[in-house]
Amino acid sequence: MAKFSDNLQLPGSVRVYTLELMQFLTGKSIKGLSASIQSSVMPWEGWDEVYKYISCPKSSQLVATISPTLEITPDDLLNLETAVSCFLKLCDVAQSYSHVGSLLAMLGEWEGFFLVREDKKPSAEASDAGNDWNENWDEGWESFQELEPPVKEKESSFSIHPLHACWLEIFKKLVMLSQFKDVLRLIDQSLLKSNGILLDEDGARSLSQIVLERDCFTALKLVLLLPFETLQLQCLAAVEDKLKQGGISDSIGGDHELLMLVLFSEVLPAIISNSSYGNTLSCICYLVGNLSHKFQAAQLQNETLVQKGKGGCEEENESWLLVFRRILFPCFISELVKADQQLLAGLIVTKFMHTNASLGLVNVRRGKSWSVFRGAAPWTT
């Protein structure tokens, strides 16, 4: 449609109609147009009704895989409340993994409608932001500098998905089916979009409690993908208790996903500075050491295979280990140094340097880590 509308040989009215349709489908204003064309694109007030009648047959086809008697009507999509109510009823009927797939596909259909509607809602706060002046705006100017600035509440830098209640039920179904990786994958993929966080804090708390009863490490991964610090600390406490009781299992000792989430969720400083998370910090250090050993072993294997003319390691495994070498390991050492744990950071680096030169994870003389130590370590002053 974009290519079609770019055809300057078409009549202006045809181009306008095409641009209108594109704008209604995407819910966004088409940028880069001339003023004359843009001014001719008028809002289509009946688009909501059209979308519902288009979406309902397709949604009915999807839910027919759950039960042939189910049907989605325009009344079910009348507003956000009716849509959520309809979806929750469908979730009660869904039992299998394929049923959840149908619900996900239908939710994708609905998102295009309700996300656009949310974007169209006027923001009362935005409209009032510039209208807080009054006739006595200049009074008290003499004592302005004597007054302390008001303390503003910390603003959240994220929005909540309008269909978060539907996503919560999807995740509960997946947890019931022990599809934890799908839950993490869906949340992770949503972070690349601008549609909002898939769960509000109450929903995240409810889901994390369910997951905690089955696997505290998966629950920790779940909340580290979400911006709710209180829930992160609660799951950290559960992980700490688990480590006290059973130690570090083989599966956790090689879990690079856990290390990545701990590093980039900014929860590591809390773990390092709080002595009550001592077992958790030991687990992370063990995880870093284990992954470092895997990297060195893979590098040695790769060199041996290349020398024999048999090619290198598997591309997927090699790419992940390179991410660990170039990003995760330096980030972990930097966090230790910033938390005044220079001795621990130095011990880890030194231990990993006591290998063959060809296996060195970091060149201490030239690596970026050395510049960090020079500014923070007591032995460099």
306, 312 in Cβ contact below 8 A? yes
All structural domains of the chain with their residue ranges? 2-40, 46-119+159-199, 279-380
For residue 258, give the nearest of 243, 270, 273, 268 by alpha carbon: 268
77 pLDDT tier (thresholds 50, 70, 90): confident
For residue 115, give the nearest of 224, 182, 27 by alpha carbon: 27
Q: What is the 3-state secondary structure (H, E, C) of 236-284?
A: HHHHHHHHHHHCCCHHHHCCHHHHHHHHHCCCHHHHHHCHHHHHHHHHH
Which of 16-25, 46-55, 165-174, 371-380 is predicted least confidently? 371-380
Segment 128-174, tens digit of pLDDT:
444 454 555 455 545 545 555 554 444 457 899 999 999 999 999 99
Q: How many whole angstroms separate alpha carbon 190 and alpha carbon 198? A: 7
Q: Residue 153 has what pLDDT?
A: 43
Mean pLDDT within 286-314:
75
- pTM of the predicted structure, to 2 decimals: 0.73
All residues at 6 or more sequence positions from 113 whose CB lies less than 8 Å from its CB, including other chains:
48, 51, 52, 55, 77
- Is residue 278 pLDDT above 70, yes or no? yes
Segment 185-223, tens digit of pLDDT:
999 999 988 888 999 999 999 999 999 999 999 999 999
- Is residue 363 pLDDT above 50, yes or no? no
- Is residue 113 pLDDT above 60, yes or no? yes
277, 236 in Cβ contact below 8 A? yes
CA distances to 189, 218, 244, 266, 268 from 224, in Å: 14, 10, 21, 9, 11
Q: How many whole angstroms separate alpha carbon 320 and alpha carbon 140? A: 61
Q: Residue 294 has what pLDDT?
A: 83
Residue 199 DSSP label: S
Q: Residue 370 has what pLDDT?
A: 44
Q: How many whole angstroms separate alpha carbon 118 and alpha carbon 80? A: 10
All residues at 6 or more sequence positions from 300 whose CB lies less than 8 Å from its CB, including other chains:
358, 359
381 pLDDT tier (thresholds 50, 70, 90): very low
* 160 beta partners: 197
Q: Residue 48 has what pLDDT?
A: 63
More confidently predicted of 21 and 336:
336
Q: Residue 304 has what pLDDT?
A: 75
